[in-house]
Amino acid sequence: MHPSWDVEELADALPRAAAVLRAAERVAVMTGAGVSAESGLATFRGAGGLWEGHRVEDVATPFAFRRDPALVWRFYNLRRANLREARPNPGHDALVKLEERLGPERFTLITQNVDNLHRAAGSRRVLELHGNLTRVRCTGCQRVDDRGTEALDDMPRCSCGALLRPDVVWFHEMLPDGIWEESARAVASCNCFLVAGTSAIVYPAAGLIDTARRVGAKVIEVNLEPTEASGRVDVGLYGASGQVLPRLVELLPHASM
């Protein structure tokens, strides 16, 4: 939290944000872990966050996986097990509605989340910057498989015999082929960039906010509290995304805009 930040009242900021959205020909949205918090999934940073009990270097880097794959798999298997209980919340649903209202040509959803909840909610055009926990990738033949939330053991193997890994992006790794380029293109051609539930400190994802500003797009932030990005946004909506996003979408016309 940045305590000196002068936060506009939500009731005043919401209609301003809705006006920005209404005026936009193309909208890009980027979500982070906060959007899934109300689905019962822990965020990364802060009290009770996923990184609190783990060092990133022990569980979320290629070096960690080479050193102790079973430890890394135990961490990800726990997270996969959490997905079994998790259901999309009204924030995810509101983004489905926004996509339906705008249509695929005018809407792109970029997510840093690996929890599959946007797809489960019904979002169609989803660019997963950091991969997806429901998929595994073979470290040998590179085959990618969707294993849903089924229980995997601590050293799961591919039919080719090589060790599997979660199909997520670890620190020090490149973002998935093509996904980054498509995300950057969507942001560079949008008029409104809506950023929800992210601390906006992990790059290159956080850099998309600067891309949006460079092309003159308006930036709307939805978060429980001001973040690193708040000084660079046009409208800040501070509250839980599961409440704020439905209220925002409710303010838009129902017919195709």
| Residue 83 burial by Cβ neighbours in a 10 Å radius (0-12, 13-18, 19+) | buried
Q: Is-contact 5 226, C-beta < 8 A? A: yes
DSSP-derived pairing of the beta strands 131-138 and 164-168: antiparallel
Question: How would DSSP label each residue in 6-44?
Answer: -PPPHHHHHHHHHHHHHH-SSEEEEE-GGGGGGGT---S
Give the residue among 192, 224, 226 at the shortest CA–CA distance from 209. 192
Task: Give the footprint of ligand OAD on residues 217-236 (CB under 6 A).
Answer: 223-225, 227
Nearer CB in complex with ligand OAD: 34/236: 34
- Give catalytic status of residue 2 as yes or no: no
C-alpha span between 172 and 124 (Å, rounded): 29
CB nearer to ligand OAD: give 43 or 132: 43
Q: How far apart are CA 18 and CA 51, in angstroms?
A: 34
Binding mask 168-207 for ligand OAD (x = CB under 6 A): -x-x-------------------------xxx--x-----
Interacting positions 131-160 with ligand OAD (CB under 6 A): none
Is the CB of residue 219 less than 8 Å from the CB of residue 55?
A: no
- Nearer to ligand OAD by Cβ, of 18 and 34: the residue is 34
Q: Which of 2, 54, 130, 172 is catalytic?
A: 130
Task: Check residue 112 for interaction with ligand OAD (CB under 6 A).
Answer: yes
Task: Give the number of other Cβ atoms within 10 Å of residue 239's Cβ.
Answer: 16
Nearest distance in Å: CB 245, ligand OAD: 9
Q: Which residue is nearest to ligand OAD (CB)?
A: 34
Query: Considering beta carbons, is residue 59 or 106 the nearer one to ligand OAD?
Result: 59
CB of 110 to ligand OAD, least distance (A): 11
Nearest CA among 203, 221, 225 for reference residue 213:
221
Write the binding mask 32 to 71 for ligand OAD: x where contact by CB under 6 A, - elsewhere. Answer: xxx--xx----xxx---x----------x-----------
Q: How far is the CB of 100 from ligand OAD (least distance, A)?
A: 22
**In the bound complex, what is the minimum distance in angstroms from residue 225's beta carbon to ligand OAD?**
5
Task: Enumerate the β-bridge partners of residue 157.
Answer: 163
Count of Cβ atoms closer than 10 Å to residue 68 Cβ: 13
Q: Number of residues interacting with ligand OAD: please give it, by CB under 6 A.
A: 25
Q: How far is the CB of 94 from ligand OAD (least distance, A)?
A: 12
Helix (H, G, I), strand (E, B) or coil at 144: strand
Binding site for ligand OAD (CB under 6 A): 32-34, 37-38, 43-45, 49, 60, 112, 130, 169, 171, 197-199, 202, 223-225, 227, 240-242
Catalytic residues: 130
